[in-house]
Amino acid sequence: MSADLRPAVSSGLLFCAAFLAAFIASTNGESRLECGKRAVHVRTSQSRIVGGRDAVEGAWPWQVSLQVTNRRAHVCGATIISQWWLLSAAHCFPSTSGFNNKDQWKAVMGLRDLSRPAKWTISRKIDALILHEKYHEVQNDVAVLKVDKAINFGDYIQVACLPKPGKFHIEKWSHCHVTGWGLMEQNGAPARILQEAGVRLIPLETCQQPNWYGGLVNDHMICAGFAGGGIDACQGDSGGPLSCQLKGTDRFFVVGVVSWGKGCAERFKPGVYTSTNTYGEWIEKKTGISISQSEDSGVEYMSDYGIAATESSAENPSVPSNIQFGTNQPTSMVQRHLPGRTIPLLNLLILLYHFCTDCF
Which CATH number belongs to the domain containing residue 155 in this structure? 2.40.10.10
Indicate if the alpha-carbon torsion angle 151, 180, 244, 309 is positive or negative.
Answer: negative
Same domain, 10 and 134: no
Question: Per residue in 19-70, pLDDT tens?
Answer: 444 444 443 333 455 899 888 766 644 333 554 589 999 999 999 999 998 8
Predicted confidence at residue 50, as pLDDT, reads: 59
The residue with greater pLDDT, 303 or 316, is 303
Residue 36 lies in a domain: no
pLDDT over 70 for what percent of the chain? 68
pLDDT digits (tens, 9 = 90+) for 102-122: 999 999 999 999 999 999 999
CA distance linking residue 240 with residue 252, whole number of Å: 14
Instruction: List all residues 6 or more positions away from 138 whose beta carbon is below 8 Å from its beta carbon.
Output: 216, 221, 259, 260, 272, 319, 323
- Position 310 scores a pLDDT of 44
- Are 67 and 27 in the same domain? no
pLDDT tens profile 245-294: 999 998 999 999 999 999 999 999 999 999 999 999 999 999 999 885 44
pLDDT bin (cut points 50, 70, 90) of residue 188 is confident
What is residue 204's three-state secondary structure? helix
Comparison of pLDDT for 71 and 147, the residue scoring more: 147
Q: pTM for this structure? A: 0.76
- In a domain, residue 322? The reply is no
Give the confidence band of 320 by pLDDT, cuts at 50, 70, 90. Answer: very low
CA distance 289 to 82: 8
Catalytic residue set: 91, 141, 238
Residue 114 sits in the same domain as residue 195? yes
Residue 46 domain-assigned (yes or no): no
- 9 and 156 both lie in a single domain: no
Judge whether 275 lies within some domain. yes
Could you tell me if 90 and 191 lie in one domain? yes
Q: Are residues 67 and 24 in the same domain?
A: no
40 part of a folded domain: no
| More confident: 192 or 316 | 192
Tell me the C-alpha distance between 90 and 152, whole Å. 25
Is 37 a domain residue?
A: no
Interval 212-236 mean pLDDT: 94
Q: State the Cα–Cα distance between residues 281 and 178, nearest whole angstrom.
A: 23
* Whether 108 and 11 share a structural domain: no
- State the residue range of the domain holding 350: 2-31+344-357
> What is the torsional sign of CA 331, 146, 297, 40?
negative
As a 3-state breakdown, the chain gives helix, strand, coil percent values, each rounded to 5, of 20, 25, 55
- Give yes or no: residues 234 and 350 share one domain: no
Same domain, 155 and 219: yes
Pairing state of beta strands 105-109 and 252-260?
unpaired
**Whole-number pLDDT of residue 332:** 26
> Do residues 188 and 252 share a domain?
yes
- Given a cut of 60, whether residue 72 has pLDDT beyond it is yes
- Greater confidence (91 vs 184) lies with 91
pLDDT exceeds cutoff 90 at 347: no
Q: Please, which residues have CB within 8 angstroms of residue 48's CB and are 6 or more apart in sequence?
A: 195, 197, 230, 231, 232, 265
Which among 108, 57, 13, 49 has a CA at the least distance from the CA of 231?
Answer: 49
Whether 327 maps to a domain, the answer reads no
C-alpha angle 337-342-344 in degrees, rounded to nearest 5: 135
Q: Does residue 352 share a domain with residue 217?
A: no
Return the pLDDT at 42. 65
Residues 133 and 263 in one domain: yes
**Total tally of structural domains belonging to the chain:** 2
Task: Tell me, yes or no, whether 107 lies in a domain.
Answer: yes
Least confident residue range of 9-13, 181-185, 198-202, 253-257: 9-13
